[in-house]
Structure 1
Amino acid sequence: MLKYLWDPANAITAGGLVFSSASLFLAFSEHLELSVSVALWAVLSDHLDGIVAARTGNRDPDIAKMGKSLDGFADMIYGAVLPAAIIIQLSHASLLALITSTVLLVAGAVRLSYFANFGKSADGRFFGLPLSYDIPVMAAAFVVRPLFPSELFVTLTLGLFLVLAGLHVSSIRVSSPNAATYVAITIFALAASTILASRALD
């Protein structure tokens, strides 16, 4: 099985899983800003593996098939499991956090299952909001966290992720990222990761 990880794109996906694991550890250790900072690197890995896969010539079909499945599991972990863990820790395992995290996990599983079976729409757009938006949204929320009272921030964050869960399984159509979008996401992820890490380590 491990031989499939020698493929550059699959190796990057596996690297993203390492970042997700580190982020989960930090979340459970109550270092939430560092957790979100590291999670952004899982997002970057997810974007990079697709670019590398598309540019790898003569890629073995079995390796590509393995990579597609691996990428789906990685998406579930960083796109739904990680935000759910951060939400639970952020609200000190409140009842609303249980509801929010459960809804988010179910929506994430449904969203990814639909995409795995039916793919994009005929015009090349995604049905429902991709899970890759969750961690950047979480990062943006944590960047502005100092502007809000603690209890209000928790309430707003939980509400925001309930909305995101609904968008994941909605009928909206979202365009696939283009080169400019990838550049913007990369710049945001690097900047937000630096801000959150610096704040946490001060």
Structure 2
Amino acid sequence: MPKTQQPTILSYVKDLPNLLSLSGLACTLLAIYSSILGYYSIAMIGMVWAVAFDWADGLVARKLKGRTETDAKFGGQLDVLIDIVSYGVTPAILLLSYGHFEPIYLIGAFIMVAAAAIRLSYFSTYGLAGGTKYTGLALDNNSLILVFIFLFESFFTHEAFSIVLYISGVGLAILNVSEIKTPKLSGNPRNVYLLGAYTLVITAIYGLQLL
């Protein structure tokens, strides 16, 4: 039998779910860049849209016909790698930047990134508990919650909100690696609409702050 030719690396870029994943990565990069420069309103928009694209790639992948097992496996690996950047590295950089990169914030940042890496590795190994629920708080919740918390930044002094952000980030990291069971929100079409509405509202609020 002739040997099946292995597809090229870039051939997977043409897959629509992977394009959506990469769009989310672009939003994540925008969030990181903006956080470092202190443009937090733009960072919040980038973070929430990263979640929206992350949910969209899974939704499209489930509905798209003709995808092979290899396509699904590649997409899953790509998704996990992007998740560690979007939901681990990005919030950690946000914390570091808001704390003016003081050494004490490195501890919190490390906890956040380490928890994200452990959480994703555990999920890659065991999948959903009972086929329906995550073990530990799903990482996309980190961005959704932090974006919401940041709405109240103006009510605090910079120093006080630094503490709020630190506690929130580390608290979410603890929940990420806890044994709590949380539902797979992205699998419910109703929740997808809710995320869409949340994304648009958050974009509008932070967009107005840029005017």
Once the two structures are aligned, what percentage of the paired residues are identical? 26
When the two structures are aligned, how many residues end up with a matched partner?
A: 201
Q: Quote how far apart the aligned CAs of 1:95 are.
A: 3.3
Alpha-carbon distance in 1 for matches of 2:104, 2:145: 19
TM normalised by structure 1 equals: 0.95
- 1:1-202 matches, within 5 Å, as 1-177=9-185, 178-199=188-209, 201-202=210-211
Larger Rg computed on CA atoms = 2
Distance in 2 between residues matched to 1:118 and 1:20, nearest whole Å:
27
Corresponding residue SS for 2:170 = helix
Q: How far apart, CA to CA, are the structure 2 residues paired with 1:33 and 1:138?
A: 12
Deviation at 1:108, TM superposition (A): 0.3
Structure 2 regions of 5+ residues with no counterpart? 1-8
Could you give the per-residue CA deviations for residues 43-70 of structure 1, whole angstroms, max 9, x where no partner exists? 1000000000000112111111110000
Query: Which letter does structure 1 place at the counterpart of 2:134?
Result: F
After TM superposition, give the deviation of residue 28 of structure 1 in Å: 1.6
Letter in 1 for 2:205: I
Q: Which amino acid aligns with 1:175?
A: P
TM-score by length of 2: 0.91
**Moved runs in structure 1, 4+ residues, more than 4 A?**
none
The C-alpha deviation readout for 1:108-139, integer Å capped at 9, x for no partner, is: 00000000111011151000001101111111
Contact 1:96 1:158 in 2 (8 A): no
Gaps of 5+ in 1: none
How far the C-alpha of 1:80 sits from its partner, in A, is 0.7
Distance 1:131 1:145 in 2: 22
User: Are the equivalent residues in 2 in contact too, given 1:136–1:189 (CA < 8 A)?
Assistant: no
